[in-house]
Structure formats: C-alpha cells, structure tokens
Structure 1
C-alpha cells in the first residue's frame, strides 16, 4: 500500500512539473472524511488541468485512505474492522475552472480486516462505479472546501474467516467532505 501511494504521488508530481510554466496544472492536497461502508479518512490528491487547452475543467483524483467498517451477521455480534482504501479517478467541472459544481467517478479497491473477540476475517472489494456530485468552494487562491454526495457499487471478493459477503450490501451511499490546499 505504501509503495502504491508513493508511486502514485510521484506520478502526479512528475506530470505537474513536466508542463510549461504558463500551462502548469495545479495540485490540491486535501485531508478527507467519507461516510460510507466502509467509512474513510485519508488524503486526497487532485491534479487539475485548468489553463491547458482541451483539458479545461478536468482533474485526476487519487484518494488514499484508512477504512473502518462494522460487520454484523446473524449469530455473530457486531465486529469492528479496519484497513485501507485506494481510489483513482477523474472529475469534470461544469464551469471549466478548478472549482464549482462537478461530477466524479473513481475506481476503488478496499481491504478491511476484522480481528476482535477471537474471530478473524477479511472483507475485500473492487468498484468501478462510484458516481459522485459535489461543489468545490474556493477561498482565495489556495484554500478550498469540497462537500460531495454519491453512491458506490462494489464487486465483493470472497471473504475470509467468518466474513460472508451475503451480509454486506453491494450498494453504499457516500457523503464526503474535503478541506484542501492548492499548490
């Protein structure tokens, strides 16, 4: 996980610094909270292409987060788990800038491990459908607040241990907030 997030961050930085000075994309780094199943806390990196002909109003998104989830199954008390979630996707702004109303979709992979009261298990999923709508408010040149709402459809991988995917919904609502700084 550490290698993947480091490689992705280096790729985003390399793309940003490889451009001409007058056409350089900007990078917004945001801590974020996403209420969903699993709930996520982490860092979001947005590479925005405003000012580059043909790419105005579009961004690439990388979210690297810590995921938490409560698993509830018949015959088992609720068990809390934690792990990681990685999302990679794109965002399109309606005003062709780097703020305002947008739509977004991400590819996601999550891995949550449960180990409590002598029971162990793992829940893993992949998602390629996670449509989101949000509004990015900018304050000055660098500060932004970014609330969003969406849904996510997950393809669940075979659970391990006591985890049975029949007890986890394939659809999850998503409500998020990011507070960002643009470089």
Structure 2
C-alpha cells in the first residue's frame, strides 16, 4: 500500500513542479514554444480541453467537469482494486496511473484544461502533439496494470505459478 501512495505522490509532485517551472516560470503559456534540444526535445504549449490528443476537445464547462469526474472515478476504482488485489509492481503501476490522473485533474480545476508542453520529434518525423509528465505516468501505469495483473497462463490444471488449481 505504501508503494502505491509514494508513487502517486511522487508522480503528482513531479508533474505539478514541471508544469509550474515550464508553463509559469519559463512563461511558455505566453511564449508558445521553446527549443530545448531540437528536434528531439522542445517545449510547445498546448492546452488540452479534451482527452488524449485533444479528442472530444471543447472548452465547455460540462465537458470539463465530466472529465474531472471520470478521472476521479477511475482513480478511486483503481485505488480500491489495487489495495484489495495488488502487490509489488501492480501497486507501483496503480500509483503511476493515479498520480498522473490527479495531476491532470488539478490542471482542469486551476486552468480549465490540461497543460501539455513536452514535444519530441525524431528521424524526420515532425510530431505535432504535446504531452506532460502526468500523461507519461498514466500510460506507463496502464501498461503496467495490464502486464503485471492476473495469474498468468493456465496450463494442465495449474495456475500461473505452477500450483495445482
């Protein structure tokens, strides 16, 4: 349980600190873009009013609070499930997902949209999308929950750990 809360708190803090440093102190919200290590790493300000990649985007109040409620609901469900079923890596994955989701919820409450600013391109591909630390944590947490949950394949009457069922 401690792993989950420490991971969630660490992700949340890292997300909010990076957003404050880049968006507020470096004034990315007004500058629009800052080349950090072109073309690999750049800061490009993007206010995301929707879900991933701006899908369902719109700056409506109903959508904003619906997305906040959905993020909080999913976070609560993952927390409850992980505390009842999870161990080790599952708790870390759940912490990543919850910390990232709460970081983006705070953005929606404070700014009305999620502050995305990281932009990475490589190898002649110009990536038009921006993201943030919370987005990375949510993605890694979701992948971790998929990879680390369950008892594994069942063969010959044995569970994933080789014990008889």
Bin the TM-score by the shorter chain.
under 0.3
* More strand by percentage: 1
Q: Which has the higher contact order (CA 8 A, sep 6+)?
A: 2
* More helix by percentage: 2
